[in-house]
């Protein structure tokens, strides 16, 4: 066998320690997602708008000298002014405070929808996807059954059982708003439960509950957060639409849909009564949509540039 001469070998010199300085520091998944979210100007604008709306809804009516139910009969139908920024309605009530009070109701509806998605939807879809087989088939057929009934019928049923108001809307949302989240989580679980880390957890003796809550659901948080951020504006618009039809909150509570419905008969004489509630609905829904699009781009690894 031919031997290679030792003269052709060069000894490896001492490694330069400066090469470690050019290595990029490690970044976690959530840190990288936050960095990419901050680069999305529209998403950050939507997030700051949502924070501003929340602060105004909490502190605006408290700091104002007017109440949402105070009537000034000598100031009926006034336009925007320094005293009444959004003007007054047909009963002399301050429209600015009523719009801010309506923001409380809309944000409460969005909060209820998000809580339902994060509890009922995630748990239901996770159990169905992990169980599989007949259990999965039965659970998803129940989801299809709930999907087949329109939301308005649920609201009418709740109004007959417990009366009109915000409770009936919450009950109707509780029946239907977790269905999409259940489908999304189930689809993710069906894909992830065949991965190697789940097989390793089973080999180590992990229970089904531990696999679901410690391994599968944390790996689904990206799609879960995106779905929640997209469903919140849909819930807010649904509440405004139902209140506009008279199926929502009752007088004297001031919802954006109620304000728009009350302003419709006098829209030619007092257009500001419809403009400001409609503007509040539009800004809130646009802000959540911008934030949802930004979260989708930041959390979905397939959309990385």
| pLDDT exceeds 60 at position 16 | no
- Cα dihedral sign, 272-278-284-287: negative
Calpha distance 145→281 (Å, rounded): 31
CA-only gyration radius of the chain, Å:
27
| pLDDT exceeds 80 at position 21 | no
Average pLDDT over residues 21-36: 69
- Name which residue leads in pLDDT, 274 or 33: 274
Model pLDDT for residues 249-260, shown as the tens digit of each residue = 766 677 888 888
| H helix intervals, 117-220 | 122-131, 133-147, 151-162, 166-176, 179-192, 196-203, 208-210
Q: Which helix (H) or strand (E) holds 93?
A: none
Please give the DSSP secondary-structure letter assigned to residue 303.
Answer: G
Model pLDDT for residues 169-180, shown as the tens digit of each residue = 787 777 788 888
What per-residue confidence (pLDDT) applies to 221? 82
* Domains of the chain, first to last: 92-303 (1.10.3720.10)
């Amino acid at each position: 066998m031919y031997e290679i001469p030792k003269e052709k070998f060069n000894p490896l010199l001492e490694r330069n320690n400066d090469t470690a300085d050019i290595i990029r520091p490690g970044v976690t998944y959530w840190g990288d997602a936050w960095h990419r979210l901050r680069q999305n100007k529209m998403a950050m604008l939507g997030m700051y708008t949502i924070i501003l709306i929340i602060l105004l809804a909490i502190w605006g009516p408290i700091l104002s000298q007017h109440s949402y139910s105070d009537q000034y009969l000598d100031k009926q139908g006034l336009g925007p002014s320094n005293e009444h920024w959004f003007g007054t309605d047909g009963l002399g009530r301050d429209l600015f405070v009523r719009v801010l009070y309506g923001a409380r109701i809309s944000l409460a509806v969005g909060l209820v929808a998000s809580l339902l998605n994060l509890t009922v939807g995630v748990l239901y879809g996770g159990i169905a996807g992990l169980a599989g087989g007949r259990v999965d088939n039965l659970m998803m057929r129940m989801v299809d059954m709930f999907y087949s009934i329109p939301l308005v019928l649920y609201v009418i049923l709740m109004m007959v059982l417990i009366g009109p108001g915000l409770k009936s809307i919450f009950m109707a949302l509780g029946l239907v708003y977790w269905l999409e989240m259940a489908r999304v989580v189930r689809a993710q679980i069906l894909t992830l439960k065949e991965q190697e880390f789940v097989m390793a957890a089973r080999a180590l003796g992990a229970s089904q509950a531990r696999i679901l809550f410690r391994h599968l659901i944390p790996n689904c948080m990206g799609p879960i957060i995106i779905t929640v951020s997209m469903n919140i504006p849909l819930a807010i618009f649904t509440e405004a639409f139902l209140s506009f039809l008279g199926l929502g909150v009752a007088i004297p509570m001031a919802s954006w849909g109620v304000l728009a419905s009350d302003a419709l008969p006098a829209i030619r004489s007092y257009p500001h009564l419809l403009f400001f509630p409609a503007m509040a609905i539009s800004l809130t829904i646009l802000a959540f949509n911008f934030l949802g699009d930004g979260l989708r781009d930041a959390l979905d690894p397939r959309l990385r540039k």
